[in-house]
Amino acid sequence: MDASRFSTLSRRLILTGLAMSGVLLAADLKTPNYQNISLWEPGKVPLATGTGPLDMPFLTVVLPPEGKRNSASVVIAPGGSNIMLMYGAEGMDIAEKYNEWGVTAFILTYRMSPHYGNEARILDGKRAIQVVRAHSAEYKIDPAKVGYIGFSAGSNMGRSVVAQSGPGDPNAPDPIDRLSSRPDYLALVYGPGNATKGEDLKTFPPTFLMAAEFDQGPAVGNAQLFIELAKAKVPAEMHTYQKGHHGFGSGYADSNFADWMPRLEHFLREDGFLPGGKQ
């Protein structure tokens, strides 16, 4: 990780985030590699209960170096029990690693409890995928290689996002709503969540699952979901560490988990989402 890049952005996140109990404000980031994109225009956010910063979900774009950039992109949804967002180990650390692979990363700031429930968060997750596709020409990304990776609460939301996603409405007045909200792959890290009503696993994209056995809820949920995905003939890969805990993030602070992101990289190359794998 480039320490100077992380330090610059992390200070901005901390200064804005501390004021709102860990939730990042949608302030402009004027650095070359970072910028924010609102998911909706002011006054048009569905289910909004107010007009403050916490009512305005947005994406923070983290760009890889120009010479390393490929056409892949990912939406990153940090966890935090739906009351805060873990922007470090489950946000910037992940974005920086994706940048090393040449991937343009979009960290999602979604709406929090108690003012918002899962319905609003699922709308945020779906809209995030659509917004990335809407900016595909600007960021030189392939709209057919937009992934989603979620951690804990962000992982649970990701499963629901896929279950409720669709191809877009060709007649929608908002051109962004005409785009598909379905990610092209799904990575669920410690928290696959419960099945969404009406969930059809046959429609799921290739899925990567990660947890630690001691973290029994996500570990057992991952195993159950993997079996169901295999029966539905969906490409899936599962890794469960026999030792460990919840919330290990990128894993680089703990040798027990240090290899999980390289395993994810291998999965993405095998399924054609990164250059150099099987197509």
Q: What is the pLDDT of residues 77-130, one digit of tens each?
A: 999 999 999 999 999 999 999 999 999 999 999 999 999 999 999 999 999 999
- pLDDT number for residue 19: 34
- Core vs surface per residue 93-129: b (16+ CB within 10 A) or e: bbbbbbbebbbbbbbbbbbbeeebeeebbbbbbbbbb
Whether the predicted pLDDT of 20 surpasses 70: no
Which residue, 175, 210, 186, is CA-closest to 125?
A: 186
- pLDDT number for residue 277: 62
Structure tokens at 90: 């489950």
- pLDDT number for residue 246: 85
Distance CA 222, CA 211 (A): 7
User: Mean pLDDT over residues 205-219, rounded?
Assistant: 92
Q: How far is CA 242 from the centre of its chain?
A: 25
CA distances from 171 to 3, 37, 45, 143, 180 (A): 46, 24, 19, 20, 13
Q: Compare 8 and 128 and report the one with higher pLDDT.
A: 128
Which residue, 110, 112, 116, 113, is CA-closest to 129?
A: 110
Distance CA 54, CA 116 (A): 10
User: Mean pLDDT over residues 172-191, rounded?
Assistant: 96
Give the other-Cβ count within 10 Å of 170's Cβ: 8
Q: What is the pLDDT of residues 195-208, one digit of tens each?
A: 887 899 999 999 99
Whether the predicted pLDDT of 159 surpasses 50: yes
User: Is-contact 193 156, C-beta < 8 A?
Assistant: yes
Which residue, 239, 235, 201, is CA-closest to 222?
A: 239
- Site of tokens 């200070």: 11
Q: Following DSSP, what letter does each residue of 137-200 receive, concatenated?
A: HHHT--TT-EEEEEETHHHHHHHHHHHH--S--TT-SSGGGGS----SEEEEES---PPPTT--
Query: How would residue 223 be classed by pLDDT, with cut points 50, 70 and 90?
Result: very high
Distance CA 73, CA 99 (A): 9
Strands (E), the chain: 34-38, 58-62, 73-77, 104-109, 146-151, 185-189, 207-212, 236-241
- Percentage of the chain surpassing pLDDT 90? 71
Distance CA 91, CA 86 (A): 7
Whether the predicted pLDDT of 160 surpasses 70: yes
User: Mean pLDDT over residues 233-257, rounded?
Assistant: 85
Task: Tell me what the pLDDT averaged over the chain comes to.
Answer: 87
- pLDDT number for residue 258: 83
β-strand partners of 189: 151, 210
Q: How far is CA 224 from the centre of its chain?
A: 22
Give the other-Cβ count within 10 Å of 275's Cβ: 13
- pLDDT number for residue 13: 45
User: Mean pLDDT over residues 139-153, rounded?
Assistant: 96
- pLDDT number for residue 145: 97
